[in-house]
Amino acid sequence: MQIDSPQFWRAGAISVIAVMTVVLIMLTIDSLAAIRSGGTHVPPYTVINQKIGYKYDSARAIDVPTVAGDEPLFGRAETSEQVAALIGKGKLVIQSRSCMNCHTFFGNGAYYAPDLTKSWLDPGWDAWQAITAAGSKEEAMVRFLMDPVKFRTWTRTMPQLNLTREEAVAVVAYLKWMSAVDTNGFPANFGLISTSR
């Protein structure tokens, strides 16, 4: 078989695709184990009952989420079944309202509105607590989500998406869980909250 013959390159193409596909499948098996809820990179859904932070890890040279102590959402610790249902609901709300076509999650989506990967940890919620006259960060988030036109953020107003309270709570739970996912340091330096570097 000569190098300028189609057969030579067909054999080459088949070999390359076969090798790459096998490697991809092996990496996929390993990655799926790491990203299942409770895997090495993705926390269990019950993490929403705990206090979540984001801190520079000098060994890995990136920012990583921290989970320490109890801090249940709305002050009520939920069972793993309740939490799983809540997170499932939150995901369906996010899909049904097409949030991803204005916002990004882990940087994926549209770029019209801010990234929501670590939005639970955004220092801006302190001010929103005062604006919405809420007793807690999660309550402020719920009030904002239920009436974003009333609590306008800036010139690009988030539209009224007619979320019920149950739906808004589910979204807040989802955002809290998502903030605890180990995203290899994305976004970097979030909120400049790290003081250890």
Partner 1 sequence: MYRSQRLALKYLAAAIGFFGVMTLAGLMSAYYYINPDFLFGILHFNIAKTLHIDTLVIWLLMGFMGAIYWFLPEELGIETVGIRAAEIMFYLFCLVVLAVAAIFVVVQYGGSDNAGMWLVNQGRKYVEAPRWAAACIVLVMLVFSYNLIGTAIRARKITGIMGVLIVDLVPLVVLYLDAFPAFRNMSVDLFWWWWLVHLWVEATWEVLIGCIMALALMSLLGTSRRIVETWLYIEVALVLGTGILGLGHHYFWIGTPQYWLAIGGFFSAFEPLPLLGMVVHAIYDAGTHHMKTSNRPAFYWMLAEAFGNFIGGGVWGFMITLPQVNLYAHGTQWTASHGHFAFWGAYACGVISVAYLVLQRIRGAASVDGTAWRWAFAALNFGLIGMVGTLLVSGFAQAFIERAVGGSTLEAFINAQESAWFVDGMYARFACGLIFAAGYVALVYDLLTIGRRVPARAAQPALP
Partner 2 sequence: MTGLALLETGLLLGVFVLLAGCYGVLYGVGRLVGRRAATAGAFACYALQCAVASAVVARAPLADFWKAFIAASTLAYLAIPPITWRFLEKTH
x/- mask, partner 2, residues 118-157, rule CB under 8 A, reads ----------------------------------------
Query: Taking CB under 8 A as the rule, does residue 79 contact partner 1?
Result: no
CB within 8 Å of 6: residues ≥ 6 apart: none
Among partner 2, partner 1, none, what does residue 168 contact (CB within 5–8 Å per kind)? none
Contact segment (CB under 8 A) with partner 1 among 68-76, 135-143, 179-187 equals: 179-187
- Specify the DSSP class assigned to residue 115: B
- Specify the DSSP class assigned to residue 97: T
Query: Taking CB under 8 A as the rule, does residue 80 contact partner 1?
Result: no
Number of residues that bind partner 1 (CB under 8 A): 86
Q: How far is the CB of 27 from partner 2 (least distance, A)?
A: 18
187 prior amide bond cis, ω within 30: yes
**Integer-rounded Cα radius of gyration of the chain:** 21
Q: Which of 106, 104, 124 is nearest to 114 (CA)?
A: 104
Query: Taking CB under 8 A as the rule, does residue 66 contact partner 1?
Result: no
Among partner 1, partner 2, none, what does residue 186 contact (CB within 5–8 Å per kind)? partner 1
In terms of CB distance, is 4 or 70 closer to partner 2? 4
In the structure encoding, which two tokens stand for residue 94, read together? 């996010």
Query: Taking CB under 8 A as the rule, does residue 4 contact partner 2?
Result: yes
Query: Taking CB under 8 A as the rule, does residue 41 contact partner 1?
Result: yes
Report the C-alpha gap between 21 and 29 in whole angstroms: 12
Query: Taking CB under 8 A as the rule, does residue 26 contact partner 1?
Result: no
Contact segment (CB under 8 A) with partner 1 among 38-46, 73-81, 135-143 equals: 38-46
Contact status, residue 110 vs residue 100, Cβ threshold 8 Å: yes
For CA atoms 67, 73, 77, 82, give the dihedral sign.
negative
In the structure encoding, which two tokens stand for residue 96, read together? 């049904």
Query: Taking CB under 8 A as the rule, does residue 58 contact partner 2?
Result: no
In the structure encoding, which two tokens stand for residue 178, read together? 């998502």
Using CB under 8 A as the criterion, which residues of the chain lie in contact with partner 2 when the complex forms?
3-4, 188
